[in-house]
Chains A and B, each alone.
Chain A
Amino acid sequence: MTARRRHDLRIGPRLSGGAASSRAARFDLRDLAAEVLEGVGARPLRLFVSLLGTVVGIGALVLTVGLGQTAGGQLDAHFDRVAAEHAEITPQKKQGADGEERAAAALPDDSADRVRRLAGVLAAATLTALPTEGLRVSAVPVHDPSEPETTPPPVYASSGELVEAIGAHLVAGRAFDAGHDARGDRVAILGSDAAATLGIRRLEAQPSVFLGDRSYTVIGILGESVTEAHLAGAVVIPTGAARRDFPSVPPDLVALHLDSAAGELVSRQAPIALDPNEPDVFTVAAPSRPTALQNEVGDDLDIVFLAIGLITLLAGGLGIANVTTLSVSERTGEIGLRRALGATRRQIGAQFVLESVVVGALGGVIGVALAVLAIVAVSALRGWTPVLDLPLAFGCAGLGAVVGLTAGAYPAAKAARTEPADALRSS
């Protein structure tokens, strides 16, 4: 008898009621998958508890990222609408011999009047950054020497249609007009942040802001501007007053509010209106994107929510690890039985670790699905278009499986190490 025949142990037709198997089947992936699914689905309550942490963790991650992307998409859409109706004219810049960039030409002082006459231009205003070096900007006339030195808010000069030209609104008071500009009246409008810094909240008492020794009556407080967000921290005075009280500097830019269909026409005609002899030195462009500060704030919020999501996910992983460890203890008898029936250590370990992976993946898929539903619901309520990076969503579902794998590795190894005799004795 050969060794192979000697150890062919499947004989005895009466015992099994059938002929011995013609081929030796092995415990394969289908068997493993069937045992894993059976193991996962056998106890629904335990499955629910195992799933909870991963669902919340993955859901929080996807929700955070998805809402961020949706809000970002909304901001982009809003900005695109703004960009279609607003433009800025700036002089081109050239690099000087010292390496610094300088304007290749100066915008004329009457730039706003020149482009205002063009068809399709609804409002135009120049904006000029005034030199403030050594200038004290304060809401009180008396200089207190003990007062700590602070950086003064920037001061700009602008022509009469500033508020409309930059797509802003006034939260209090009124804007200066062509009359203030022509007369050189000492009036000012403050950005909302500058007003708060200077302690000016109400305009009924006609508060003043002092630029050096000169008093400017605050007549308005500027609200949010999409195109010139930096004005929130600035003081803006009429061009006429600036001409009288500050050294003469050319405007930095001309802000335009356009008819939405007039963008292309104005972009061709405005440079010619500013300088018919040398129109190419001016650039007409959509206003720059919202400031980096806004993005940074958004990034900070994202990091906070991502951290919350990751911590929740970690808790979810620990939950899976706990439940799997408990499960291994509970199922010691089953482990012993399987070993008695011929399961190897590797098969036992694979079953438990895969059960954990399946629970993690299932939690990931459910978490992603719930997060997507939440994003869609929030978007529907706010009238937004939901935006979510699909690879990210699939990746997060996969992350659930990775969490399951990590969490299940130790309990699975413990299950595999269990001695069958001990397992059967202790059950």
Chain B
Amino acid sequence: MTIVEARADQAAPLVELRGVGRSFGSGRAVTALSGIDLQLPSGDYVAITGPSGAGKSTALNILGLLDRPSTGEYLFDGLPTAALDDRRRSGLRGSGIGFVFQSFHLLPTRTVRENVMLAFTYGGIPRHERSIRARTALERVGLGHRLEAFPATLSGGERQRVAIARAVCTDPRLLLADEPTGNLDRANADAVLALFDDLHADGLTIVVITHDPEVASRARRRVVITDGRLSEIAR
């Protein structure tokens, strides 16, 4: 079993995986993760790398409460998540975790502002605050001038910045990014990574899954998942 110790100063980790495993199917089940231990103190910035099919996305889904581990325990901010029902897990996702996907996942029939405001709908933000907070979040990612544009009219980099604004506008504790620069050119990728640096400087805990060594090098820590097992790469 590989153990990655927390190196941050904070005493209580924001994220703690204890012997987490995940297998799919019954009978000859496929094991995606095998007994992973991981601690992320608040404010950490971790890159998870590894070959395709190694279990990176499975780990991200478990960290984001989108999936449940088959074995082991996941504590989010000290709270054991195994016993949480769908409503409480959804509540934690809505208010505590932000997601950035490789394919952006913007709704094409809604404007940039409305896409960001969708996070508030489920994130517990009062209705009267939503529009102004969406504007502020979009201004933060440099898209204050494209509030009423539709996603189809944006470049890839702009779309990803909208997705980042949507992910962080509810002030989550944890930002999970799955290949956030996978569909972007180098200039746009740099802009997105600069945003991540900025968010990390603000104290946000960030986990990035990536194949890109350049992206991984921006993180404070790097871990690699190979064949469902996790190990840390010393810097």
Which residues of A line the B interface, CB within 8 A?
6-7, 9-18, 20-27, 30-31, 34-35, 38, 42-43, 333-334, 336-347, 419-421, 424-425, 427
One of B47-55, B183-191, B199-207, B217-225 contacting the partner: B199-207
Asked if residues B169 and A337 are in contact (CB atoms below 8 Å), the reply is no
Q: Tell me, in angstroms, the Cα distance from A341 to B110 when the chains sit together.
A: 16
Q: Is B17 on the interface with A (CB-CB < 8 A)?
A: no
- Chain B proximity of A280: nearest CB distance (Å): 80
Which residues of B line the A interface, CB within 8 A?
57, 61, 64, 66-67, 77-79, 86-87, 90-96, 99, 101, 103, 105, 107, 109-110, 118-119, 121-127, 129, 132-133, 136-137, 139-140, 166, 168-173, 199, 202-204
Given A333-B105, A336-B105, A344 and B136 contact (CB-CB distance below 8 Å): no
Asked if residues A17 and B121 are in contact (CB atoms below 8 Å), the reply is no
Asked if residues A424 and B105 are in contact (CB atoms below 8 Å), the reply is yes
Known: A7-B79, A15-B171. 7 other contacts (CB 8 A): A10-B95, A11-B173, A12-B171, A25-B125, A31-B121, A341-B118, A344-B86
Closest residue to A334 on the B side, CB-wise? B107
Given A17-B140, A18-B136, A21-B126, A342 and B94 contact (CB-CB distance below 8 Å): yes
Asked if residues A16 and B137 are in contact (CB atoms below 8 Å), the reply is yes
Asked if residues B139 and A10 are in contact (CB atoms below 8 Å), the reply is no
Asked if residues B86 and A345 are in contact (CB atoms below 8 Å), the reply is yes
Q: List 5 A-B contacts (CB under 8 A).
A: A6-B78, A7-B77, A43-B109, A342-B124, A427-B105
Instruction: Please give, as numbers and ranges, the residues of chain A lying within 8 Å of B166 by CB-CB distance.
Output: 341
Asked if residues A35 and B121 are in contact (CB atoms below 8 Å), the reply is yes
Closest residue to A25 on the B side, CB-wise? B126
Instruction: Please give, as numbers and ranges, the residues of chain B lying within 8 Å of A421 by CB-CB distance.
Output: 61, 66-67
- Chain B proximity of A303: nearest CB distance (Å): 44
Instruction: Please give, as numbers and ranges, the residues of chain A lying within 8 Å of B204 by CB-CB distance.
Output: 12, 15
Q: Tell me, in angstroms, the Cα distance from A334 to B115 when the chains sit together.
A: 11
Instruction: Please give, as numbers and ranges, the residues of chain A lying within 8 Å of B118 by CB-CB distance.
Output: 337-338, 341
A-B pair count, CB < 8 Å, reads: 140
Asked if residues B93 and A340 are in contact (CB atoms below 8 Å), the reply is yes
Asked if residues B136 and A342 are in contact (CB atoms below 8 Å), the reply is no
- Chain B proximity of A4: nearest CB distance (Å): 12
Instruction: Please give, as numbers and ranges, the residues of chain A lying within 8 Å of B95 by CB-CB distance.
Output: 9-10, 342
Q: Tell me, in angstroms, the Cα distance from A337 to B132 when the chains sit together.
A: 22
Instruction: Please give, as numbers and ranges, the residues of chain A lying within 8 Å of B139 by CB-CB distance.
Output: 17
Closest residue to A23 on the B side, CB-wise? B126
Q: Tell me, in angstroms, the Cα distance from A346 to B166 when the chains sit together.
A: 23
Top 4 nearest A-B pairs by Cβ distance?
A: A342-B94, A17-B136, A342-B122, A9-B96
Out of A15, A340, A345, which one reaches B99, CB within 8 Å? Answer: A340
Closest residue to A343 on the B side, CB-wise? B122
Out of A30, A339, A347, A427, which one reaches B66, CB within 8 Å? Answer: A339
- Chain A proximity of B4: nearest CB distance (Å): 23
Given A7-B79, A342-B95, A15 and B66 contact (CB-CB distance below 8 Å): no
Q: Tell me, in angstroms, the Cα distance from A345 to B93 when the chains sit together.
A: 13
Asked if residues B133 and A339 are in contact (CB atoms below 8 Å), the reply is no
